[in-house]
């Protein structure tokens, strides 16, 4: 349910992906084509009834700038009497009906059967499925035997499989069918196949009467209503408040409730069937509207043409501005045919259908003296189209052509894009939040403006109405944001398989998931780094310092935002920091369309469709190029949820980095405002992601950071031990893949989205630098008054050979003190409370001490 609108470049240039692009241009021109793919306009969460607008502003004279990256296309007119001519791209929401097809048929022999699930709507369809085995007790899904899993399947925890639907060869008449085939043998002991269909593009889950689809393969009597075969309605989940529910849709734990274990089961002669389920999806259709203005010298009037390819009746709801472009006024007659007055506020003109039926057009004669022609398009009662939340505003002034055609502002934008590349490249949820709040402030200001502006009564209603709409959207977004921070969510945790996996892990010396195991990361840039333009030079000067402090991995900013005017490229640095281990991390922003149902991704990112093989191939090539040619040794993967870990695995395997780490932002669990002690759900999600990469990548331990926040800030050190007496973050479950950190360029630095409690940073480092996992130290902290303390901590870590798989034993976790022993060599305590290691067999000596922390070594 979204309407995307034209995004004026000047409003938020660096958020649009424009800043992203130069990266690719620099690396390889040829690749830019695919990456442009990422710039498809971001859907904005909207009700059908709302005029999509993130950025509501009352009709200020909106100067339309044009750019080749953006959607507006300039038709530079040769003819001198063209005052204005421009084509705007429109995104029209359209409900598309389609169907989900389910076919069961026998294959080449009696025992081999095939289940085909298809969908005829475009989308990134994923089949989320599992099976019940004969004799299963309980209702849990199980994973199917490996030979049943179609290629490309990814296991989800231990009970489900996700298989992307592929475009079927059977697609015909321009209509593509996506489908997946599951082949199985009736001799296997499978009782039923359960599935739901997921559209990764929108995050919607399609279910069968609110339940899983269930295809029974044996006779049994229980029918809980979700067995495929009965004709029943199907749709996306309804929500109480359209948009909110859309955003907050939580994928239901995919467990069917049946208990088929006790039934006497009997293979039945399986009967093939074919079922169709109607499904409705809202998609955006591209349309155009072009507006041109001609000045007629003889009559001293302006002639304005509007032409659009929008189907059906199109009403132009319009007026003119005479002064500052703020006030809609009714022009003098004559009006075009089919024009009516709307409440003395505006005129409504029905455009004439073009001959041939495709689209409509209309012409308007306007007096000189009007500054602008303002309009919005109305398609039906619920659908209005506007220009990025603003009215379309067409300048009419015959004497001064606005500078919008000069191209100057455009290039400024470009520069800005370059400058803010880093911002975009690590653009993730927290940035989006920032955006939301900045934007909200704007709205609130607007309300104030509206309040005080009581002079233009006529215009007020129009304005306030639109304000209302954008405000409602904003309320919902904010509520969802607040909820996602406050709430708790509870998927199941499967600890055992993780432990097994850890045990099975061969003793690799170096793996992309862990590096050597003894890495200490330095995040070598902060939010301001792109500003200096000479960051690499600065860093080069500091490289020896960093190496001497004991860092092994330096994480550099993306090369593209450090290309200075002097033309320094990472290549120049490569040989200069040889005292480091030559490992450089490159942040990659692969933002899939986040799973909106989780409610915390408010701004869908430029979308790279990872499910498309050619896209993946291209990215792989590019990464490979970065690694081979530029000399990057590792990747840091910025991503949002919805980016399938399985694809990361592809990239990593293709490029064999020395070290790869992903950043998975998610909200911790809260119950009524209080952070839950148990954050298993949170770390589980991160671990699921690592799992999906097959352990080829580590992940930032956001859980530990979050818990440290609460523990230190609120003096609740008991939080640092989970119910099993282990560290409560990812580091407690899968230490070798946990990259522990307390701050990075998103959370700290000048961004400060989620800043570590002030003054307690060293306690945080005392924790992560003495614990297993791979610690990462933030640049700002290294070059601060904390340097000597951090240096001491690092040397303690190195001296005692504490590594990512070290064992940690929690000695004390109470209200005001936490103490732990690592590898039986180091004991640390943080918090104001008292703790001393008992000098039994070992002789502990205090080696570091500071505000609310102490560290001892065995001597």
Partner 1 sequence: MEIPVIRSSQLNLGRAIDVGFCNFSKNLNSKIFSVKNNSKTCKIFQGQSLKWESKSATRFTLKASATAQSEAAVISEKGSRNSRTKPTDGVKLYVGLPLDAVSTCNTVNHARAISAGLKALKLLGIDGVELPVWWGIAEKDKSGKYDWTGYLVLAEMVQKLGLKLHVSLCFHASKDAKILLPDWVSRIGESQPDVYFTDRSGQRYKDCLSLAVDDLPVLDGKTPIEAYAEFCESFKASFSPFIGSTITGISIGLGPDGELRYPSHHYRSKNNSHRGAGEFQCYNKYMLENLKQHAETHGNPLWGLSGPHDAPGYSQSPMSSGFFLEHGGSWEMPYGDFFLSWYSSQLISHGDRILSVAASTFEDTEIIVSGKVPLMHSWYKTRSHPSELTAGFYNTANRDGYEAIAEIFSRNSCKIILPGMDLSEENEPNESRSRPELLLAQIASACGKHEVQISGENSLVSVSPRGYEQIKKNLVDQNVVDLFTYQRMGAYFFSPEHFPSYTKFVRSLNQANLHSDDLVTEEEGTAVSLPGTNLRMQAA
Min dist CB 489 to partner 1, Å, is 10
Instruction: State yes or no: residue 341 binds partner 1 (CB under 8 A).
Output: no
Rounded Cα gap, residues 57 and 8, in angstroms: 13
Q: Dihedral of the CA atoms 607, 609, 614, 619 (nearest 10)?
A: 50
In sequence order, the 6+-apart residues with CB closer than 8 A to the CB of 117 are: 100, 101, 102, 103, 127, 165, 179, 180, 182, 195, 197
Q: How many CB atoms lie within 10 A of CB 758?
A: 7
| Interacting span for partner 1 (CB under 8 A) from 227-235, 414-422, 440-448, 504-512 | 440-448
Catalytic, 663? Answer yes
330, 361, 371, 478: which one binds partner 1 (CB under 8 A): 478
| Interacting span for partner 1 (CB under 8 A) from 8-16, 233-241, 655-663, 721-729 | 233-241
Instruction: State yes or no: residue 440 binds partner 1 (CB under 8 A).
Output: yes
| Peptide bond connecting 334 to the previous residue in cis, omega within 30 degrees of 0 | yes
| Interacting span for partner 1 (CB under 8 A) from 91-99, 289-297, 480-488, 613-621 | 480-488
714, 801, 834, 851: which one binds partner 1 (CB under 8 A): 714
Nearer to partner 1, 380 or 788 (CB): 380
270, 284, 365, 715: which one binds partner 1 (CB under 8 A): 715
Locate 665 and state its tokens: 């932002």
Q: CB of 249 within 8 A of CB of 594?
A: no
29, 137, 297, 451: which one binds partner 1 (CB under 8 A): 451
> Interior CA angle at 250 toward 244 and 253, to 5°?
160
Rounded Cα gap, residues 65 and 67, in angstroms: 7
Min dist CB 348 to partner 1, Å, is 10
Q: Which of 258, 282, 663, 743 is catalytic?
A: 663
Instruction: State yes or no: residue 475 binds partner 1 (CB under 8 A).
Output: yes
> Residues in contact with partner 1, total (CB under 8 A)?
59
Q: Which of 86, 638, 743, 852 is catalytic?
A: 638
Rounded Cα gap, residues 708 and 831, in angstroms: 11
145, 150, 235, 239: which one binds partner 1 (CB under 8 A): 239
Min dist CB 631 to partner 1, Å, is 38
Min dist CB 715 to partner 1, Å, is 5
Rounded Cα gap, residues 455 and 819, in angstroms: 66
**Residue 787: which of 808, 762, 812, 809 has the closest Cα?**
762
Rounded Cα gap, residues 767 and 793, in angstroms: 10
301, 410, 460, 854: which one binds partner 1 (CB under 8 A): 460
In sequence order, the 6+-apart residues with CB closer than 8 A to the CB of 25 are: 32
Rounded Cα gap, residues 323 and 781, in angstroms: 53
Instruction: State yes or no: residue 554 binds partner 1 (CB under 8 A).
Output: no
61, 73, 447, 654: which one binds partner 1 (CB under 8 A): 447
Q: How many CB atoms lie within 10 A of CB 682?
A: 25
- In a 10 Å sphere around its CB, with 0-12 CB exposed, 13-18 middle and 19+ buried, how is residue 19 labelled? buried
Nearer to partner 1, 184 or 602 (CB): 602
What Å distances lie between residue 654 and 464, 512, 553, 647, 831, CA to CA?
Answer: 54, 12, 21, 11, 45
Strands 372-380 and 392-395: antiparallel
Q: Which of residues 829-858 bind partner 1 (CB under 8 A)?
A: none
Instruction: State yes or no: residue 229 binds partner 1 (CB under 8 A).
Output: no
Instruction: State yes or no: residue 456 binds partner 1 (CB under 8 A).
Output: no
Three-class DSSP category at 462: helix
Q: CB of 277 within 8 A of CB of 99?
A: yes
Q: Dihedral of the CA atoms 798, 801, 804, 806 (nearest 10)?
A: -140
461, 545, 616, 726: which one binds partner 1 (CB under 8 A): 461
Instruction: State yes or no: residue 157 binds partner 1 (CB under 8 A).
Output: no
Min dist CB 829 to partner 1, Å, is 18
Q: How many CB atoms lie within 10 A of CB 408?
A: 11
Q: How many CB atoms lie within 10 A of CB 569?
A: 15
| Interacting span for partner 1 (CB under 8 A) from 185-193, 215-223, 441-449, 541-549 | 441-449
H runs (alpha helix) in 214-336: 242-248
Instruction: State yes or no: residue 547 binds partner 1 (CB under 8 A).
Output: no
Instruction: State yes or no: residue 770 binds partner 1 (CB under 8 A).
Output: no
- Numbers of helices and strands, H then E, in the chain: 19, 38
- Kindly give the interhelix angle for 761-768 and 702-713, rounded to the nearest 10 degrees: 130
68, 406, 671, 809: which one binds partner 1 (CB under 8 A): 671
Nearer to partner 1, 233 or 758 (CB): 758
Instruction: State yes or no: residue 350 binds partner 1 (CB under 8 A).
Output: no
Min dist CB 247 to partner 1, Å, is 8
**Residue 774: which of 577, 636, 588, 579 has the closest Cα?**
636
Instruction: State yes or no: residue 238 binds partner 1 (CB under 8 A).
Output: no
Nearer to partner 1, 166 or 446 (CB): 446
Nearer to partner 1, 755 or 805 (CB): 755
| Interacting span for partner 1 (CB under 8 A) from 85-93, 154-162, 464-472, 531-539 | 464-472
DSSP helix, strand, coil percent of the chain (3-state; round to 5): 25, 30, 45
Min dist CB 157 to partner 1, Å, is 24
Instruction: State yes or no: residue 681 binds partner 1 (CB under 8 A).
Output: no
472, 537, 630, 811: which one binds partner 1 (CB under 8 A): 472
Binding mask 786-805 for partner 1 (x = CB under 8 A): --------------------
Name the residue with tokens 């049946």.
258
Q: What is the Cα 719 distance to its own chain's centre?
A: 29
Min dist CB 724 to partner 1, Å, is 23
| Interacting span for partner 1 (CB under 8 A) from 111-119, 400-408, 750-758, 848-856 | 750-758
Min dist CB 709 to partner 1, Å, is 10
Q: CB of 89 within 8 A of CB of 6?
A: yes
Question: What element of type H or E holds 767?
Answer: helix 761-768
Backbone angles phi, psi at 212, to 5 degrees: -70, 155
Instruction: State yes or no: residue 468 binds partner 1 (CB under 8 A).
Output: yes
Instruction: State yes or no: residue 344 binds partner 1 (CB under 8 A).
Output: no
Strands 818-822 and 808-813: antiparallel
| Interacting span for partner 1 (CB under 8 A) from 24-32, 134-142, 629-637, 749-757 | 749-757
Rounded Cα gap, residues 372 and 403, in angstroms: 15
Min dist CB 125 to partner 1, Å, is 25
Min dist CB 758 to partner 1, Å, is 9
Q: Which of residues 13-72 bind partner 1 (CB under 8 A)?
A: 49-50
| Interacting span for partner 1 (CB under 8 A) from 9-17, 234-242, 254-262, 405-413 | 234-242
Instruction: State yes or no: residue 486 binds partner 1 (CB under 8 A).
Output: yes
Q: What is the Cα 2 distance to its own chain's centre?
A: 17
Instruction: State yes or no: residue 503 binds partner 1 (CB under 8 A).
Output: no
| Interacting span for partner 1 (CB under 8 A) from 152-160, 164-172, 481-489, 787-795 | 481-489
**Residue 394: which of 315, 316, 298, 286 has the closest Cα?**
316
Torsion sign, CA atoms 795, 801, 803, 808: negative
Question: Which residues, listed in sequence order, are joined to residue 115 by a DSSP beta bridge?
Answer: 104, 182
Nearer to partner 1, 47 or 258 (CB): 47
Residues that bind partner 1 (CB under 8 A): 49-50, 239-241, 244-245, 248, 380-382, 433, 436-437, 440, 443-444, 447-448, 450-452, 454, 457, 460-461, 464-465, 467-469, 471-472, 474-476, 478-483, 485-488, 599, 670-675, 713-715, 753-754, 757
List the catalytic residues.
638, 663
């Amino acid at each position: 349910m979204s309407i995307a609108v034209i995004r004026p470049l000047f409003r938020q240039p660096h958020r649009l992906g424009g800043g992203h692009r130069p990266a690719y241009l620099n690396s390889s021109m040829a690749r830019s084509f695919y990456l442009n793919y990422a710039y498809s306009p971001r859907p904005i969460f909207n009700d059908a009834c709302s005029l999509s607008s993130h950025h509501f502003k009352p009709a200020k004279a909106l100067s339309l700038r044009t750019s080749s990256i953006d959607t507006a296309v300039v038709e530079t007119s040769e003819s001198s009497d063209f005052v204005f001519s421009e084509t705007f791209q429109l995104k029209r929401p359209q409900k598309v009906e389609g169907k989900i097809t389910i076919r069961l048929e026998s294959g080449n022999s009696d025992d081999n059967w095939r289940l085909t699930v298809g969908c005829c709507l475009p989308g990134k369809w994923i089949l989320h499925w599992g099976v019940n085995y004969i004799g299963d007790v309980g209702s849990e899904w199980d994973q199917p035997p490996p030979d049943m899993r179609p290629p490309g399947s990814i296991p989800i925890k231990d009970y489900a499989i996700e298989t992307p639907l592929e475009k079927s060869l059977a697609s015909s008449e321009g209509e593509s069918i996506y489908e997946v085939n599951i082949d199985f043998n009736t001799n296997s002991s499978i009782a039923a196949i359960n599935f739901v269909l997921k559209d990764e593009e929108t995050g919607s889950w399609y279910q069968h009467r609110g339940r899983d689809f269930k295809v029974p393969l044996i006779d049994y009597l229980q029918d809980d209503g979700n067995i495929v075969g009965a004709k029943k309605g199907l749709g996306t989940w309804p929500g109480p408040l359209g948009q909110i529910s859309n955003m907050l849709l939580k994928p239901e734990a995919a467990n069917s409730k049946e208990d088929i274990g006790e039934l006497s089961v009997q293979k039945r002669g399986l009967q093939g069937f074919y079922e169709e389920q109607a499904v409705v999806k809202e998609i955006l259709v591209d349309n155009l509207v072009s507006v041109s203005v001609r000045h007629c010298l003889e009559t001293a009037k302006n002639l304005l043409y509007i032409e659009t390819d929008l189907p059906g009746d199109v009403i132009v709801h319009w007026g003119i501005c005479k002064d500052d472009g703020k006030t809609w006024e009714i022009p003098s007659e004559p009006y075009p045919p089919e024009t009516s007055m709307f409440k003395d506020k505006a005129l409504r003109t029905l455009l004439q259908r073009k001959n041939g039926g495709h689209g409509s057009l209309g012409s308007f004669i306007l007096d000189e003296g009007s500054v602008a022609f303002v309009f919005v398009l109305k398609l039906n009662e619920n659908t209005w189209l506007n220009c990025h939340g603003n009215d379309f505003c067409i300048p009419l002034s015959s004497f001064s052509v606005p500078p919008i055609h000069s191209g100057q502002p455009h290039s400024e934008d470009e520069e800005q894009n370059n400058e803010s590349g880093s911002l975009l490249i690590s653009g993730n949820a927290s940035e989006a939040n920032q955006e939301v709040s900045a934007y909200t402030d704007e709205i609130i200001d607007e309300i104030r403006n509206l309040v005080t502006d009581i002079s233009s009564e006529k215009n007020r209603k129009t304005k306030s109405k639109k304000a209302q709409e954008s405000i409602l959207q904003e309320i919902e977004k904010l509520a969802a944001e607040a909820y996602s921070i406050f709430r708790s969510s509870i998927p199941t945790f499967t600890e055992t398989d993780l432990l097994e996996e850890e045990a099975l892990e061969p003793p690799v010396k170096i793996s992309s998931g862990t590096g050597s195991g003894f890495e200490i990361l330095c995040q070598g840039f902060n939010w301001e780094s792109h500003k200096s333009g000479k960051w690499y030079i600065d860093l080069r000067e500091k490289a020896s310092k960093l190496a001497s402090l004991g860092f092994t991995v330096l994480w550099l900013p993306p090369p593209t935002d450090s290309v200075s005017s002097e033309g320094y490229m990472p290549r120049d640095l490569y040989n200069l920091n040889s005292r480091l281990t030559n490992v450089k991390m490159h942040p990659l922003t692969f933002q899939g369309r986040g799973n909106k149902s989780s409610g915390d991704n408010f701004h869908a990112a430029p979308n790279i469709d990872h499910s498309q093989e050619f896209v993946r191939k291209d990215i792989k090539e590019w990464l490979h190029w970065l690694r081979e040619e530029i000399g990057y040794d590792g990747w840091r993967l910025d991503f949002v949820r919805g980016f399938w870990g399985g694809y990361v695995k592809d990239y990593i395997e293709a490029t064999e980095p020395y070290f790869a780490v992903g950043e998975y932002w998610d909200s911790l669990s809260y119950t009524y405002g209080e952070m839950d002690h148990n954050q298993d759900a949170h770390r589980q999600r991160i671990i699921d992601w690592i799992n999906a990469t097959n352990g080829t990548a580590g992940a930032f331990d956001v859980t530990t950071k979050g818990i440290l926040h609460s523990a230190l800030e609120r003096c609740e050190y008991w939080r640092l031990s989970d119910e099993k007496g282990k560290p409560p973050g990812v580091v407690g479950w899968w230490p070798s893949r946990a990259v522990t950190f307390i701050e990075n360029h998103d959370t700290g630095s000048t961004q400060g989205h989620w800043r570590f409690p002030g003054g307690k940073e060293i306690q945080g480092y005392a924790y992560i630098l003495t614990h297993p996992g791979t610690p990462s130290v933030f640049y700002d902290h290294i070059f601060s008054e904390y340097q000597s303390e951090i240096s001491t901590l690092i040397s303690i870590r190195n001296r005692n050979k504490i590594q990512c798989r070290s064992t940690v034993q929690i000695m004390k976790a109470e209200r005001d003190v936490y103490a732990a022993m690592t590898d039986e060599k180091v004991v640390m305590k943080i918090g104001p409370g008292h703790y001393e290691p008992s000098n039994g067999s070992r002789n502990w000596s205090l080696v570091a001490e500071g505000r609310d922390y102490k560290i001892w070594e065995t001597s």
